[in-house]
Amino acid sequence: MRISDERYTRDMRRYDLARRMIEHEARTTTITAWTGLTRYRVQNLFQEYDGLGANTRHRGLPPFQPRFFVRSAEIECESAALAAIELQMQIIETTGAKWLPTLAVGERLVAAFEMYCSLVPSPRISLEYAFLLAKELTLGTSLKLNRCTACHGLMVVDMFAPLRERCAFCRLYRRT
């Protein structure tokens, strides 16, 4: 059986994305959903890339509560910064598109997360929360993007909480 260049390239992209996700301590279920690799193959990659991620792997369900992004002003600031990067890299679709984990979107999401980590000194948002933020903002069921009335900056808003007119940056630094 001959291996086509297209198939080989796609498989290498999958393995590269899986390696990058392992470096950022993603769970096996998250990696399988985004790369299309089997659970067994991802577990073998964890063993092969010993020393890339944390010493202990995260287990259990990936994060699923969007309220995390608005629980403190500091996390709201970081959420807004990450959302701006994801919006600029066309990960977040504001047209009400469906959310499907694909290889191309996964690669852009990991690149956006790495950019966010390079900009924020001590990031509080993990890669899996970055996936959750993009999903929730694309679906628009519990989180949405809004503009601050004071500085016109981007802010992440919980649709089930009381509406805030000022972003976390303005609230933290008392801008008028």
Strand stretches in 30-94, DSSP E: none
Each residue's pLDDT tens digit, 95-145: 666 778 899 999 999 999 999 999 999 999 999 999 999 999 999 889 999
CA 112 to chain centre: 8
Is residue 95 a part of any domain in this protein?
Answer: yes
Q: What is the CB neighbour count within 10 angstroms for residue 40?
A: 10
Tell me how many domains the chain contains. Answer: 2
Q: How far is it, in rounded angstroms, from Cα 41 to Cα 66? A: 30
Flag whether 104 is in a domain. Answer: yes
Domain membership flag for residue 139: yes
pLDDT at 5: 80
| 50 in Cβ contact with 80 (< 8 Å) | no
Assess if residue 18 is contained within a domain. yes
Q: What stretch of H or E contains 84?
A: helix 73-88
Residues 107 and 163 reside in one and the same domain: yes
Do residues 137 and 86 touch, judged by C-beta distance below 8 A?
yes
55 assigned to some structural domain: no
Q: Give the structural domain span for 77.
A: 66-173
Largest distance between two CA atoms of the chain: 68
Q: Do 168 and 88 fall within a single domain?
A: yes
Q: How far is it, in rounded angstroms, from Cα 69 to Cα 21?
A: 21
Do 163 and 132 share a structural domain? yes
Do 117 and 74 sit in the same domain of this protein?
yes
Residues 156 and 76 in one domain: yes
For the chain, report the end-to-end CA distance as a whole number of angstroms. Answer: 68
Sign of the alpha-carbon dihedral angle for 32, 39, 22, 19: negative
60 domain-assigned:
no
Question: Which residues does the chain have with pLDDT short of 70?
Answer: 1-3, 50-56, 94-97, 175-176
Residue 91 lies inside a defined structural domain of this protein: yes
| Residue 166 located in a structural domain | yes
Q: Are residues 17 and 78 in the same domain?
A: no
Same domain as 79, residue 150: yes
Residues 71 and 111 in one domain: yes
User: In this predicted structure, what is the pLDDT of residue 95?
Assistant: 67
